[in-house]
Amino acid sequence: MQPKKLHIGKRFGKLTIIDQIKHKLCICKCECGTITTKSTNNVIKGNTKSCGCISSINGKYYDDVARKRILAFIIISDNECWEWQGAKHKQGYGNFGYKRKTMLAHRVSWILFRGKLDPDILVCHKCDNPSCINPKHLFLGTDKDNTIDAAKKGRMGNARGEKNYNSKLNESIIKEIRKMRFDGISHNKIAKRYLISESTVKDISSRRTWKHVN
């Protein structure tokens, strides 16, 4: 006995049912163009909303869904900072799951709202607020750019034993080293960037040294 074809031509989520077949299955066309077979019951109840492109990290809609997810974690302050309300790193930077990785929320914000991001490039804050993910408050730079920016804003004046931002290591650089390690950049790459040993990088990232820098 053939099933009643009551739902042919109807759209549920991103799926349009184009045929219903035996065993309570239906053939659907997804908005992304993929033809797929799904459970009719799951489609009409909304349990299945796409061919899988929504959840696939390479899918057409992954970033659209990620934008909605990341915006659900913010509160906008009076100075237009997008204050992160979700999980945070010890330094105040937000943590966000993106493409099966835990990343710094402000870096993901840049990717979602501004475009591609080289993993070796830093995402810095114009507002000096680590919890802010407003893409308008962010700018790209090297470790040197970020250190100079910190010096200009007077954020390095109380550094222990430091006279100026030309020091080989300073608090701003220590914070960046720890941020880079948290973001997955290797000890080797960081060591080469700052002309220091890998063991020094490991000591900094594990807080065996520079313990006074949060």
Which has more pLDDT, 31 or 146? 31
Region 160-181 average pLDDT: 69
How far, in Å, CA of 88 to CA of 103, rounded?
10
The pLDDT score that the predictor gives to residue 161 is 34
Distance from first CA to last CA of the chain, Å, rounded? Answer: 70
Domain ranges of the chain: 1-56, 61-141, 162-214
Region 33-42 average pLDDT: 92
How far, in Å, CA of 124 to CA of 50, rounded?
36
Region 171-175 average pLDDT: 86
Beta strands (DSSP E) in 106-185 are 122-125, 138-141
Region 15-32 average pLDDT: 90
Say if residues 197 and 191 touch (Cβ distance below 8 Å): yes
* Ranges of H-type helices in 153-197: 171-182, 187-194
Q: Which residues contact 75 (CB under 8 A, 6 or more apart)?
A: 82, 83, 85
The answer on pLDDT for 10 being more than 70 is yes
- pTM listed for this prediction: 0.53
Least confident of 10-14, 22-26, 77-81, 94-98: 22-26
